[in-house]
Structures are given as C-alpha cells and as structure tokens.
Homo-oligomer: A and B are copies of this chain.
Amino acid sequence: MTDTVVSSARKEVVIGFDRPFCVIGERINPTGRKALSEEMRAGNYSRVEADAVAQVQAGAHMLDVNAGIPLTDEPAILAETVKLVQSLVDVPLSIDSSIVAALESGLSAYQGKALVNSVTGEEERLESVLPLVRKYGAAVVAISNDESGISEDPDVRFEVARKIVERAADHGIPASDIVVDPLVMPVGAVNLAGASVFRLIRRLREDLKVNTTCGASNISFGLPNRHGMNAAFLSMAVGAGMTSAIMNPLHAEEMAAVRGADVMMGRDPDCMRWIRSYREPAPQLAEVGGAGRRGREGRRRRRA
C-alpha cells in the first residue's frame, strides 16, 4: 500500500499500489528529437509549450522535462523549461537530467514536490543526487544499474534497487519517495525481457514495497508495430503491479492499454474514466425535439 506523493503548486498526484496508473509524458526531451533540440538551443520554446499542453490534454498525469542538449548551459535551459511548463500546465513534473547541476537548477526553479529523474546504484551518483532529493524534499526515480552496468540477471537488478533504497534511508529519504525503474530491455534482443521485468516488478512491490516506473517503449525497439507491442507490455506490466511509466500519451493504443488495465484491476469505478475518455461525442443540442435527452439516457443505460 505504498503511496508516492508528488505535486505542483496547485495539484497533487499519487503514484500508488491501488491508485490509477500514473502516465508520465515523455515528449519534452530533446534526445533524438532534432527539431526540438535546435529550437531549445536557439531559445525557441514553442514546441515545448505545444508538447506540454497536448500531453496533458491527452491524459498525462505528470510530465518529464529534459533539456539534454550537447554544448549548452543545460542547468539554465532546464530551469527555464521547468518554469515555462509550470506556467502552462498544473501537473507535477519529473525533472530529468544526467547532470547533477542541472537537476539542482531544475529543482530550485520548481514549485511543489518534484520527481527527480534519476539516481542509479553508482556510488558517485548516489552521493550527489540523494542529498539533492533530501534538500528539496523531492521523490526520485531509482534506476537499477550500477558501476557494472545493466545486469541481465533480475536478482542483481533487485539487489541494486535494494541498495538504493537503503542508501536513501541513510539520507533520510523514505522508500515511499523512491520509484524504481527495473530497466526494460528490447524484447527483440533479450527474449525474456518482458517476463523477467514482470517478475522483478512483483518482487519490488512485495519485498521492497516500492512504486515502479519504466521507459515503456524500449520494449519494442527495432520491431514492427511498436504501438501494439507497447500496449501489450503496458497492460501486462500493470497486471504485474507496475504503477507508472514514462511514455508517450499521444499514442492512443498505449493509453487504451493502461486505461483498460486500470479498469481490469478495479481501479476505475463504474468505468467512469474509461467512458469519459472514449464516449461518442455528445448529441448536438441544436437537433430536433429532445434528441439530446435521449442521447443522455442512452449513455446512462449503457453505464448501468
């Protein structure tokens, strides 16, 4: 029953074992997006603005914000992006960088309780990121790799996650403020990537009692019909106990997969969120003689 609470100035979001799945929008990230990267480098944030609004409209509960553009002042750009995004949407943010100074700059600009993305099990990273998480009262994504890289052995990855949770406790950060990313490998390269991540998610939940997240689209890297594969993975990961993912909320199949999984897990009472997401457009009031009312009646019947 672990709840990880994050917030913006105006909104609280809870990632939790019995909560609706938390979709963290991945789009505000210049990695692999050349146009966005060039624009951000030139101080043009119009695409960031559009991505922020579109992702929240599509159903993202949080947004990841990354400003990793080579040979720029990443700390300054990340802080600017965080401020801009917070002025446009009220969902909590995940502040994402591999540079500790950028994380600190982003955190100092942030209003609310952020999710820091990320700490790993590497000694140098643990001792630079965890004090920041503590200082700003944030939550943190813990990626289960360390100096030896990413192990293919789920037991090793579990032990790395345990090490991070224990070290965080030494810094005064409770396990409920840690969201473990068990690391999703491409199933085209590692055939048991799906099955072993599901087992790992269950163990992280039952033994370490932590929430989990992942970069979901990694699973389908290099394969055709990536949306279909991501959707199957996401539904099954929710079934195994995963509580959030960093993903693209603009993809309809993936969003249906996590919303449908919420329904299946009994986390969408009376399917109200599902119905709100997918119901047919309301009938036009301009239509003749009470069609509007019949329309509403019809919907009510279907919900019964």
A242-276: CB near B (< 8 Å → 1, else 0) gives: 00000000001100110111011110011100110
Q: Which of A42-50, A51-59, A84-92, A221-229 interfaces with chain B? A: A221-229
Contact B195 A274 (CB under 8 A): no
Measured CB to CB, the nearest residue on chain B to A302 is B222
Chain A interface mostly helix, strand, loop or mixed? helix
Is A1 part of the binding interface, using a Cβ–Cβ cutoff of 8 Å? no
Q: Name A279's contact: one of B224, B270, B279 (CB within 8 Å).
A: B224
A281-304: CB near B (< 8 Å → 1, else 0) gives: 000000000000000000000111
Size of the chain A interface, CB-CB below 8 angstroms? 45
Q: Which of A32-40, A110-118, A121-129, A232-240 interfaces with chain B? A: A232-240
Contact B229 A256 (CB under 8 A): yes
**Chain B residues, Cβ within 8 Å of A303:** 188, 222
Contact B235 A231 (CB under 8 A): yes
What copy number does this chain have within its complex?
A: 2
**Chain B residues, Cβ within 8 Å of A259:** 228, 232
**Chain B residues, Cβ within 8 Å of A264:** 187, 194-195, 198, 232-233, 236
Known: A191-B269, A302-B223, A304-B189. A263 touches B231 (CB 8 A): no
**Chain B residues, Cβ within 8 Å of A189:** 304
Contact A232 B229 (CB under 8 A): no
Measured CB to CB, the nearest residue on chain B to A270 is B191
Q: Name A256's contact: one of B191, B194, B228 (CB within 8 Å).
A: B228
Within 8 A of B (CB), among A28-83: none
Is A280 part of the binding interface, using a Cβ–Cβ cutoff of 8 Å? yes
The smallest C-beta distance from A213 to any residue of chain B, in angstroms, reads 18
13 examples of A-B residue contacts, CB within 8 angstroms: A187-B263, A188-B302, A191-B270, A223-B274, A225-B256, A225-B278, A229-B256, A231-B235, A231-B257, A232-B264, A235-B239, A236-B236, A239-B239
Query: Which are the 7 A-B pairs with shortest beta-carbon distances?
Result: A232-B260, A228-B256, A194-B264, A225-B278, A224-B278, A235-B235, A236-B239
Known contacts A194-B264, A222-B303, A231-B232, then 9 further A-B pairs from the complex at CB < 8 Å, ordered by chain A residue = A188-B270, A191-B269, A225-B274, A228-B253, A228-B259, A229-B263, A231-B231, A232-B263, A253-B253
